[in-house]
Structure 1
Amino acid sequence: MSDKAQVIGVSMVKFAKPGANDPYEVMGANAIRGALADAGIDYSEVQQAFAGYVYGDSTCGQRAVYSVGMSGIPVFNLNNYCASGSSALLLARQAVEAGIVDCALAFGFEEMKPGALGSAFADRTSPVGWIHELRAELHPELPTDAPRAIQAFGGAGWEYVNRYGANPDIFARVAVKSRTHAGNNPYALFTKPLTVEQVMEAPTLFPYMTRFMACPPTCGAAAAVVVSKAFARKHGITNGVEIVGQSMTTDTEVTKTDLINLVGADMTRRAAAEVYETAGLGPEDVDVVELHDCFTPNEVISYEGLGLCGEGEAEKFILNGDNTYGGKYVVNPSGGLMSKGHPLGATGLAQCAELVWHLRGTAGERQVENARVGLQHNIGLGGACVVTMYRSA
């Protein structure tokens, strides 16, 4: 493998509630322009582009990028559910490190509808139907009248509480922490502080899960410019952030053993282990984390999957404040998906942007002091998990 790829430009548009957003091609183009401006390069320098999105027709990536330029380069459209944005980033990084190109663009966008996630194709086999069938088989005593994503992640949270004897209020404490972080993020959609009591007393969606423990459907876009070390040197770029480790995993038979693994815990463990080995760094070296908190139980589970704490130790980790400023790690300084929003195709690249800002020291009031190493976790059921480690150059 050649020198590590660098992220030299990032951008995101502020996410919006469905109906309050620009069309996907406008959001996507604005994010691309912002990333190029941040990198200080012209679109003509880009040699390949990778577009991540879930809800859209086949060449939406071209439609978005054509507003920026029509240079004839390859544009790849990909759908890896909620991990689509980080999947685009991974392909851009691979293209650069393989020496295929010196400059690649990764971008993601989503126009979502109000309400719970649903399938766009009711006339064919659902790619995640097996997950929900297995969830019901593993624990038939759990309710089945909630939206499927809530059943899956809520079921994992229920299983965690019952396995480790944790207080269910840990999920509320995570929501409070994330909303507090969001108060310093101008890109966050929800910034009003919450209390544990408010979260716990909100309408119940599933056992141990209330409305304030679930991320909102949102629309938005984000982008990143990924280049070789030689490209950065040629253009006099000195603020690049290296991708020192990256891995994508999919499901194995372990996924089927319990509800926690069914929502990606095993994929997370394996991806994180590969990243740590590749980077020559461990979780103890990480300063700042952006992880996939589509529901707060998934943030709790992911602490352990990423090795930020030991198995069954998430409650202690949370109560000690090791997930926020002054603790071992700052997790989701952006406010996470819970507060910033979760437009599926944009999420992974918005996480990338947040970490790049921290590693550059330009994250404003939410800046993690002396941040040198950042860890990103982006997961999609069905399944894909992408874990990425960044280091300031």
Structure 2
Amino acid sequence: MTGDVAVLGAGMHPWGKWGRSFVEYGVTAARAALADAGLEWRDIGSVVGADTVRGGYPGYVAGATFAKALGWQGTRVTSVYAACASGAQAIATARAQILAGLADVVLVVGADAAPKGFFRPAGGDRPDDPDWLRFRVLGATNPTYFGLYARRRMAVHGDTLEDFAQVKVKNAALGARNPYARYRRAVTAEEVAASAVVADPLRLLDICATSDGGAALVLAGLDFARRHGAGDAVRIRAVSTVTPRFPNTVLDLPDIATDSAVAVPPTPETFRESIARAAYEEAGVGPEDLSLAEVYDLSTALELQWYEDLGLCGAGEAVKLLRDGSTAPGGRIPVNPSGGLASFGEAVPAQAIAQVCELTWQLRGSAGDRQVPGARVGMTVNQGLFGHGSAVVAVR
């Protein structure tokens, strides 16, 4: 397909709390991706950096920051910010440059050095910032609205605390096999239940942490890939960065009384469903074609919601997939074989790129003891604040 671009290289800096600059994490990931691609820094025609608002001025101009750190060589640079969707926006920008003929090969980099605890709005009091409004007006920090999602699933679909715990058990077992994960220890459902209550009904082990980390990709046009001897490389076939449709204008909370949908007939799909649909349509595939998916598991309950939003099952049927092992290794559609954010935590500009790194390794068949046998089509999804969609489909 004319919209395909090749993934020649994928690289990461391990997630953790290292206490160093995001630049170090991004450069490490970039050099790993270049080595994986068999290319030199001087071969890169463009750098697209995913921004981090926590990195001061260098974080706001991440493309140039990474280019400088790697060594000025005249490359084109772009910097992108889209909250949790920054990495996908960076991939979309790189792909557009390649398809437009502006560069043969593009380096995409995202990295973050996150503060301890849940994220706070950057820059002090900012009444135009949705995070600031949510925190100060609603009192709804991130764990609070994760808890709202969980309570809604329990009330509407009958999900249980035990179901949520099993999501963590699944992902922790996979993260234990991933050398880049921050948390590399299997946990039991009993350990999840015994962890501290953070936002009822969610426990500490139901919620992802904040982390340091970095991820990078080397993308290229198909002609360049063939000349480079990589004609069979993994290909990115679709990138969805859509926005919501009226009347679904509340982006971060469930459809409770604040949603404009109470006064207007609802649209046939939620924002997250529309993110997935746009990716499927562009790629020419459907849920039935997926070999695996990497989803944005800010909480255990939210992973279950993504099963339904991706069309892997009908509304309210996510726990059935979980309980029968369909989303576990060896199941019909393994979800988060990387270990997910449950094992990594959030390094915001890096996470959507890291998801595509995992797809790349899985579709190459090089994911070691996390490998999904015969993987041919993979999809990533997450959602950025203020209406930033994020989904990528990769094929082999």
TM-score, normalised to structure 1, is 0.91
1:255, 1:266 within 8 Å by CA — same for their partners in 2? no
Task: Report what 1:9 is aligned to.
Answer: 9
Superposed CA RMSD: 2.2
**Residues 135, 152 of structure 1: 8 Å contact kept:** no
Q: Unpaired runs of 5+ in structure 1?
A: 137-143
Which residue of 1 is the match for residue 254 of structure 2? 260
CA distance change for structure 1 residues 131 and 241 in 2, over 3 Å: closer, same or farther?
farther
Instruction: Provide closer, same or farther for how the CA distance between residues 134 and 241 of structure 1 changes in structure 2, counting only shifts above 3 A.
Output: farther
Distance 1:74 1:195 in 2: 48
1:291–1:299 CA contact under 8 A, matched in 2: yes
Task: Give the match's secondary structure for 1:163.
Answer: helix
Q: 1:163 to 1:351 in 2, by over 3 A?
A: same
Q: CA deviation at 1:196?
A: 1.3
> Quick check: 2:88–2:241 contact (8 Å CA) kept in 1?
no
Which one of the candidate residues 106, 116, 120 is aligned to 1:118? 120
Match of 1:259, as an amino acid? L
Alignment match, 1:69: 71
1:38-53 mapped onto 2 (5 Å cutoff): 38-53=36-51
* Distance in 2, Cα, partners of 1:27 & 1:198: 31
Q: Counterpart of 2:44 in structure 1: which amino acid?
A: V
* CA displacement 1:20-65 (0-9 Å, x = unmatched): 2432111111111111111111222222211113222232432222
Match of 1:341 in 2: 345
1:176 aligned to 141, 163, 169, which one?
Answer: 169
The Cα offsets for residues 285-314 of structure 1, whole Å up to 9 and x where unpaired, read as: 111111111211211111111111111101
- The answer as to 2:302 corresponding to 1:298 is yes
CA distance in 2: counterparts of 1:385 and 1:44, whole angstroms: 33
User: Contact conserved, 2:43 with 2:105, CA < 8 A, in 1?
Assistant: yes
**In percent, how many aligned pairs have the same letter?**
33
2:28 alignment partner AA: N
Q: Provide the secondary structure at the position in 2 that maps to 1:15.
A: strand
Moved more, 166-175 or 33-42: 166-175
Work out which of the residue numbers 239, 244, 252 in structure 2 matches 1:246: 239
Q: Within 2, Cα distance between the matches of 1:3 and 1:149?
A: 36
2:188 pairs with 1:195: yes
Q: Which amino acid aligns with 2:379?
A: L
2:229 alignment counterpart: 236
Alpha-carbon distance between aligned partners in 1 of 2:248 and 2:37, rounded to the nearest angstrom? 42
| Contact 2:244–2:274 (8 Å) recurs in 1 | no
Report 1:77-226 matches (<5 A): 77-129=79-131, 132=134, 136=138, 144=139, 148-226=141-219
Residue 28 of structure 1 corresponds to which residue in structure 2? 26
1:130: how far off? 8.2
Structure 2 unaligned segments of length 5 or more: list them. 260-268
Give the aligned residue type for 1:77: S
- How has the CA–CA distance of structure 1 residues 79 and 222 changed in structure 2, closer, same or farther, with 3 Å as cutoff? same
Q: Deviations over 1:211-234 (max 9, x none)?
A: 001111110111001111011112
The CA deviation at 1:239 is 4.4
Distance 2:314 2:252 in 1: 18
Residue number among 375, 380, 386 corresponding to 1:376 in the alignment: 380
> 1:269, 1:67 → 2: CA distance?
39
SS in 1 for 2:109: strand
Aligned length: 380
Give the structure-2-normalised TM-score.
0.90
The 1:257/1:372 distance shift into structure 2, 3 A limit, reads closer
What's 1:140 paired with? none
Letter in 1 for 2:100: A
